[in-house]
Structure 1
Amino acid sequence: MRLFSFAGLSLCLALTTGCHSAYIAATISNHTSQPLSVVEVDYPSASFGTQTLAPGADFHYRFKVLGSGELKLLYTDAAHTDHHAAGPHLNEGDEGALGITISAGDPAWDLKLVNRK
């Protein structure tokens, strides 16, 4: 009986404390007047992106940082010119929000971390 009570208490504690996994909520925004193609963000250990991003559109993605390193943005504009931009540094376990705004000039990076490792 005592073992059953301990198991029940352990289960209740596990359910109430929950599990939390650190991630970065990213948004890429196209503030140009033309569509962008092959938009890619490289981050430590992986990458994500979208084939096209219409003018005024946003692309949302969540990722977990495994390893440490710099962010990189790659995209092609409507004139078929390839663009590359270096971004901020991330460490494994970082958590927060990342905004990347692509406009006529250099892309703007807005990284807000709530948990910096």
Structure 2
Amino acid sequence: MRKAFAAVLLFSLTFTGCRSAFVSATITNNSAAPVTLIEVDYPSASFGVGALAPGAQFHYRFKIQGGGPIKLQFTDASGKAHTASGPDLQQGEQGTLQMNIESSGNISWIPNLTQIR
């Protein structure tokens, strides 16, 4: 019985620490008009969405490979392109990142990221 318990304990300890670091990102359009051509560039990759209606959100999960700043680009309803740089991201970070597109065209960044071992 003790050997079975020890085997289960060893298995549990071995695999509870094995998980990849992912960032759950959310882009929210807080403006009163739709935005289009939304692209997020982060170290080693990018993602995007064609359009977000006022108040709409887009969720995406990614893994950071490397390090560097994150950048968000979008086009507002009048056709003006906007680009904003956000926080530096580092490989091994996990958590959440909110990117809010405001009526002024500015982006507010709300990172909640921690480094895992």
Normalising by structure 2, we get a TM-score of 0.84
SS at match of 1:55: coil
Q: CA RMSD in A?
A: 2.5
Residue pair 1:39, 1:52 contacting (<8 A) in 2 also: yes
Q: Distance in 1 between matches of 2:86 and 2:52?
A: 19
Aligned to 1:99: 98
Which structure 1 residue ranges, 4+ long, deviate > 6 Å from structure 2?
none
1:45-82 Cα offsets, whole Å, 9 max, x none, are 00011001111000000000001010001000111110
Say how many residue pairs are matched: 112
Query: What amino acid does structure 1 have at the position aligned with 2:115?
Result: N
Residue pair 2:25, 2:97 contacting (<8 A) in 1 also: yes
Runs (5+) with no aligned partner, structure 2 = none
1:84 equivalent to 2:87? Answer no
Aligned to 2:19: 20
Q: Give the deviation of 1:104 after TM superposition.
A: 1.7
Aligned to 2:69: 70
SS at match of 1:21: coil
Q: Distance in 2 between matches of 1:102 and 1:13?
A: 45
Q: Distance in 2 between matches of 1:78 and 1:43?
A: 25
Q: Give the deviation of 1:17 after TM superposition.
A: 2.3
Normalising by structure 1, we get a TM-score of 0.84
Sequence identity (%):
45
Aligned to 2:42: 43
Query: What amino acid does structure 2 have at the position aligned with 1:17?
Result: F
